Amino acid sequence: QSVLTQPPAVSGAPGQRVTISCTGSSSNIGVGHGVHWYQHLPGTAPKLLIFANSNRPSGVPDRFSGSKSGTSASLAITGLQAEDEADYYCQSYDNNLSGWVFGGGTKLTVL
Amino acid sequence: QVQLVQSGAEVKKPGASVKVSCKASGYTFTSHSIQWVRQAPGQSLEWMGWINAGNGNTKYSQRFQDRVTFTMDTSASTAYMELSSLRSEDTAVFYCARDQWPHFDFWGQGTLVTVSS
């Protein structure tokens, strides 16, 4: 049971927009800690996609965007491409655990 | 460019220990902590702790703190994670990542550790 809750799976057709939610609590997202998103293809290194709620590292396409409100955050992907098919994880810091926590992961399928 | 290259896959028997290395390049090793993350088969990512590459201080997740040890060799720009008293449930891919508080900006390719009798 992950501290941050994500939907197990989402899907969309090429060119469409999908969103992935990440729900936390008052000890992590709700207390003001930033939310970060990673893209992970099994067998490869996870890749930082969004940091501090809505910031993209250089090289990440602007098709990827993040937002945060209250105890939740969202990752939006527009103009879906086949190469976006991967697992996506949200992350934040948790005061109760004094450490980082991850969401359960969401598998994105591009139909 | 920043790279973290981890050691190869390991097969260990229950009760044994495993030591995974993470060699950093492309930046000043001592300027960033190294984080360690575990991913068991079919499971999510799980934070294990970090080592401050500047002074060697460590912080362990409560879940692992009695079995894991982080060390480093600054002359080799390499961090190590040793997990002891292995059990079958420890079969997982272990990742190192560069800390860029409060997120992790570069990750290693992962090291599969299989625990089997």
What are A16-55's pLDDT values in tens digits?
A: 999 999 999 999 999 999 999 999 998 899 999 999 999 9
Number of residues in chain B: 117
Nearest to B90 by CA among B112, B75, B71, B108: B112
* Two tokens, residue B57: 């201080």
Residue B36 has pLDDT above 90, yes or no: yes
Interface of A with B (CB under 8 A): 2, 33-34, 36, 38, 40, 43-48, 51-52, 57, 89, 91, 93, 97-105
Distances (CA, A) of A100 to A11, A62, A66, A70, B78: 27, 26, 19, 18, 22
Q: Are A35 and A88 in contact (CB under 8 A)?
A: no
Contact between A45 and B47 using a beta-carbon 8 Å cutoff: no
B67 band by pLDDT with thresholds 50, 70 and 90: very high
Q: Are A86 and A77 in contact (CB under 8 A)?
A: no
The pLDDT of B79-91, averaged and rounded, is: 97
Distances (CA, A) of A31 to A94, B39, B104: 9, 27, 20
Contact between A93 and B102 using a beta-carbon 8 Å cutoff: yes
- For a pLDDT cut of 70, what percent of chain B falls above it? 100
The pLDDT of A63-79, averaged and rounded, is: 97
User: What pLDDT score does A73 carry?
Assistant: 98
What are B16-32's pLDDT values in tens digits?
A: 999 999 999 999 999 99
Q: Are A41 and A86 in contact (CB under 8 A)?
A: yes
Mean pLDDT of chain A: 96
- For a pLDDT cut of 70, what percent of chain A falls above it? 100
User: What pLDDT score does A11 carry?
Assistant: 97
The pLDDT of A95-106, averaged and rounded, is: 96
* Residues near B1 by beta carbon (within 8 Å), at least 6 away in sequence: B26
CB < 8 Å to B100, chain A: 51
Alpha carbon of residue B109 to chain centroid: 11
CB < 8 Å to B49, chain A: 99
Q: Are A108 and A10 in contact (CB under 8 A)?
A: yes
User: What pLDDT score does A49 carry?
Assistant: 97
User: What pLDDT score does A43 carry?
Assistant: 85
Q: Is A58 exposed, middle or buried (0-12, 13-18, 19+ CB in 10 A)?
A: exposed
- Give the chain A residue nearest B109 (alpha carbons): A45
How many CB atoms lie under 10 A from the CB of residue A98? 10
Between CA B53 and CA B71 the distance in angstroms is 9
What residue has token string 């570069």? B106
Phi, psi of A90 (to 5 degrees): -100, 160
